[in-house]
């Protein structure tokens, strides 16, 4: 292999100043700086003539190109071993991603305690005029499986397929070359060709590192082979997606613009993602009232039996916040939750205040860094930016600058279903997520009972399943002013339709969130779609 051989990295290799001569000391300092990755320190040890011939940026690029070509991870330089042909001999061990551990000799020319640098010094064993290059051999991409063992994608990266093409097309994702030069360079440094297809969406993107496998190929100096490695295909990757629930989500979406997410409430494993389930946050409307209720109960500001006036709207800062369709509602808080009364929740949100609202939302996952590739965060402004009573009231009913995805609304239901504990959503099968307490078991039980009433006798009756207690919450998010002539938009194009739910209420097995963009009300549009997914989830037996 031209003087390079796979070796075990010697523990405790020292680059010191024990050199027998000033030249060896200079070479040792230069190699130590390389070991630290300190290119500036390396450059300061060059002769003036070398610095004139090779400006720093050119010098740095040469080392970075060589490192990417060799897939270099770390350098360990040993004590110089004398001189040969006028150069100091520095034994060097290299750790690489593709070719393992390699050892060679770096011949460092030194003049007057300065390195007379030349391009061959970017890598051991290079000869004058030789260029370090690599012939990459990618492995076949790993098979992508559903939780129930169905093949979602298989075959090489440039020709993926599935025996379930329509279903796989809704979740597996696409394979394409990286877009930017920075991304292509990073791929090359991993050992792949720069324009090799990678996962750019869906599960292919989420599991890119596990699916790609270990590339092989040849590392060459000119035409000389310095090292070889065989490509290694990665083992199959089993995801948390259940094809039966995924199929139901696709059927429920029915080609409409929206998103559906389904979780196992007992651990946060994602069972289905369809449409824009986690990529296009929208105002969640009244589904957010679950969060507002959590904050109000925690603050002792309301109890289910508390009475409220029956009204068609609440007036906040001189602005009317109407109930859906101008409906008059109120009564007990339980009834107000079941019928999603803005006239009750807007003033209640004012009492809760922005600090408590934001705190509760963030415990449920808002403003959290996404953990799934391609996911867009669900957000709301900091409390200091929710200043006026109208802004607070609007946030409390799921409007204002509040944004959410179906995935986070499924997670909200998961929290209530799990007795107040949040399990961060995951696509990795068998990787148990550590739960984080969001609210107390007592408050979670109270909200669960309120959500059961929504489906039993409130705005979510279209999600009811015979013989099963379903807990849910509807949402109808206004995208423009829906008062006046816009209120009667027959096609529902001025509102998003939302629903979030879990079932069975007593021992939950599935939690989900659904949203349809500009599609009317949550009760009429989203709740029936949710029922399709819930029924599929209830049929799945462990």
Q: What is the pLDDT of residue 486?
A: 43
Span 243-539: which CATH code?
A: 3.40.710.10
* For residue 2, pLDDT beyond 80: no
* For residue 255, pLDDT beyond 90: yes
* Crossing angle (nearest 10°) for helices 389-396 and 342-364: 80
CB 20, CB 28: distance < 8 Å: no
Phi/psi at 221 (5° precision): -110, 100
DSSP 8-class letter at 506: S
- 126-184 pLDDT, tens per residue? 999 999 999 999 999 999 999 999 999 999 999 999 999 999 999 999 999 999 999 99
Q: Which residue is it, tokens 């415990």?
A: 363
Task: Indicate the domain borders of the chain.
Answer: 5-130, 144-237, 243-539
Which among 11, 3, 6 is positioned nearest to 106, based on CA atoms? 3
**Structure-token pair, residue 394:** 């609007």
DSSP 8-class letter at 174: -
Instruction: Please state the CATH superfamily assignment of the domain spanning residues 5-130 in this structure.
Output: NTF2-like; domain 1 (3.10.450.100)
Which among 140, 136, 142, 132 is positioned nearest to 216, based on CA atoms? 136
Phi/psi at 427 (5° precision): -105, -5
Q: What is the mean pLDDT of residues 424-429?
A: 92
Mean pLDDT of the chain: 92
Q: In 3-state terms, what secondary structure has residue 172?
A: coil
| CATH architecture, domain 144-237 | Alpha-Beta Complex (3.90)
Long-range Cβ pairs for the range 431-439 (8 Å, 24+): 432/267, 433/267, 433/268, 436/363, 438/294, 438/363, 438/364, 439/294, 439/297, 439/298, 439/360, 439/363, 439/415
Give pTM, 2 decimals: 0.85
């Amino acid at each position: 292999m031209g003087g390079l051989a796979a070796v075990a990295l010697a523990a405790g290799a020292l680059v010191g100043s024990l050199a027998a001569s000033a030249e060896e000391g200079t070479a040792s300092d230069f190699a130590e700086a390389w070991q630290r990755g300190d290119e500036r320190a390396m450059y300061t040890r060059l002769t003036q003539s070398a610095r004139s011939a090779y400006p720093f940026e050119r010098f740095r690029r040469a080392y970075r190109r060589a490192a990417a070509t060799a897939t270099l991870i770390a350098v360990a330089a040993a004590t110089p071993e004398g001189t040969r042909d006028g150069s100091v001999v520095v034994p060097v061990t290299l750790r690489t991603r593709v070719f393992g551990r390699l050892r060679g000799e770096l011949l460092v020319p030194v003049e007057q305690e300065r390195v007379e640098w030349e391009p061959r010094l970017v890598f051991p064993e290079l000869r004058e005029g030789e260029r370090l290059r690599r012939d990459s051999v990618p492995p076949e991409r790993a098979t992508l499986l559903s939780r129930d063992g169905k093949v979602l994608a298989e075959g090489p990266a440039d020709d993926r397929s599935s025996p379930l093409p329509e279903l796989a097309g809704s979740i597996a994702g696409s394979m394409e070359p990286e877009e930017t030069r920075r991304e292509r360079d990073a791929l090359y440094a991993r050992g792949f060709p720069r324009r090799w297809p990678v996962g750019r969406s869906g599960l292919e993107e989420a599991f890119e590192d596990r699916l790609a496998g270990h590339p092989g190929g040849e590392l060459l100096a000119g035409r000389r082979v310095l090292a070889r490695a065989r490509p290694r295909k990665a083992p199959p990757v089993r995801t948390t997606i259940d094809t039966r629930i995924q199929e139901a989500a696709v059927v429920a979406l029915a080609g409409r613009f929206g998103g559906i997410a389904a979780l196992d409430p007992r651990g946060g494993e994602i069972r289905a993602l369809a449409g824009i389930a986690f990529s296009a946050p929208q105002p969640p409307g009244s589904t957010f009232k679950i969060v507002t209720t959590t904050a109000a109960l925690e603050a002792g500001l309301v109890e289910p039996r508390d009475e409220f006036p029956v009204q068609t709207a609440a007036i906040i800062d001189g602005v009317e916040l109407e109930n859906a369709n101008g409906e008059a509602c109120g009564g007990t808080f339980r009834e107000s939750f079941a019928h999603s009364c803005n006239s009750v929740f807007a003033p209640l949100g004012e009492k809760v205040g922005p600090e408590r609202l934001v705190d509760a939302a963030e415990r449920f996952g808002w403003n959290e860094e996404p953990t799934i590739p391609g996911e867009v965060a669900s957000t709301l402004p900091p409390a200091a930016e929710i200043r006026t009573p109208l802004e607070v009231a609007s946030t409390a009913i799921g409007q204002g600058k509040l944004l959410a995805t179906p995935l986070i609304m499924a997670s909200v239901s998961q929290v209530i279903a799990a007795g107040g504990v949040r399990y961060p959503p995951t696509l990795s099968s068998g990787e148990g997520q550590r739960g984080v307490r969001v609210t107390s078991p007592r408050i979670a039980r109270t909200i669960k009972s309120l959500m059961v009433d929504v489906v039993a006798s409130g705005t979510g009756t279209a999600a009811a399943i015979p013989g099963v207690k379903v807990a849910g919450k509807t949402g109808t998010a206004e995208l423009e002013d829906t008062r006046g002539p816009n209120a009667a938009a027959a096609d529902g194009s001025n509102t998003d339709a939302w629903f979030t739910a879990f079932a069975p209420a007593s021992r939950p097995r599935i939690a989900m969130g659904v949203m349809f963009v500009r599609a009317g009300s949550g009760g009429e549009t989203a709740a029936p779609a949710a029922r399709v997914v819930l029924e599929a989830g209830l049929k799945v037996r462990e």
